[in-house]
Amino acid sequence: QKEVEQDPGPLSVPEGAIVSLNCTYSNSAFQYFMWYRQYSRKGPELLMYTYSSGNKEDGRFTAQVDKSSKYISLFIRDSQPSDSATYLCANALLGGSQGNLIFGKGTKLSVKP
Amino acid sequence: NAGVTQTPKFRILKIGQSMTLQCTQDMNHNYMYWYRQDPGMGLKLIYYSVGAGITDKGEVPNGYNVSRSTTEDFPLRLELAAPSQTSVYFCASRYPQGQGSTEAFFGQGTRLTVV
């Protein structure tokens, strides 16, 4: 079983819609959860990160982690055409030599004007 | 601020040729990574390093080798190129957890085609 599972989409929504992107993970030792955004032909860039269960909000973006069900979500409110990109969830362990950083497959999002 | 620099940006290799993908970072990050990205397949970890002289295999290490003689540089070596290694390769670096931001910074990628 792959450690981080993510529906690759593609997902197409109209401008202004609320977008929900989801990941599940299998390794309960993961303690650090991230969302990266990748525009076409570019490297990924960090969008949000969190260490704990619960919600973290940043402008139109909310990251949600439920460690009990090993479920990670990213919500985008009032989506804009500029949000069109691939969104990758990523998990990492904390401490010591645990440098491994695991990504999901990414979900390709298209926001139509 | 250069960040993570990858060279070359593009390369076409013939089957059986070898090459080294270069990656250097100027942020004094301990952790460095090599990923490959195939269409619709996300980022697959090839190798990673938690510091100079220390490397470890990721999910898809076969056909690749790495070295980490300095904190700044983390080259990826392909010895006998195969068509299955056609992909976009990304190098990334970050601090260990507990030492400042744990954000991983990525290079712009190297597009490799093996024919």
Q: Which amino acid is at A37?
A: R
DSSP output for A36-89: EEE-TTS--EEEEEESSSEEEEETTEEEEEETTTTEEEEEESS--GGG-EEEEE
Give dist(CA B46, CA B34) in Å, integer: 6
The shortest CB-CB distance from B50 to any of A32, A46, A97 is to A97
Q: What is the pLDDT of residue B22?
A: 98
Tokens 């954000």: give the residue. B103
Q: What is the pLDDT of residue A98?
A: 59
Q: Which amino acid is at B76?
A: L
Give dist(CA A8, CA B42) in Å, integer: 8
Tokens of B6: 């990858």
Q: What is the pLDDT of residue A64?
A: 93
Does B49 reach chain A within 8 Å, measured CB to CB?
A: yes
A8 contacts in B (CB within 8 Å)?
Answer: 40, 42
Q: What is the pLDDT along chain A (113 residues), one digit of tens a residue?
A: 568 889 888 999 999 999 999 999 888 877 788 999 999 989 999 999 887 788 899 999 999 999 889 999 999 999 999 999 999 998 877 654 556 778 899 999 999 99
Q: Which residue has the higher pLDDT, A8 or B53?
A: B53
Give dist(CA A22, CA B13) in Å, integer: 37
Q: What is the pLDDT of residue A91?
A: 85
Tokens of B18: 């070898």
Q: Which amino acid is at B115?
A: V
Angle subtended at Cα B22 by Cα B16 and Cα B27, rounded to the nearest 5 degrees: 160
Q: What is the pLDDT of residue B100?
A: 56
Q: What is the pLDDT of residues B82-108, one digit of tens each?
A: 999 999 999 999 877 665 567 889 999
Does B95 reach chain A within 8 Å, measured CB to CB?
A: no
A32 and B42 within 8 Å at the Cβ level: the answer is: no
What's the gap in Å between the CA of B19 and the closest CA on chain A? 21
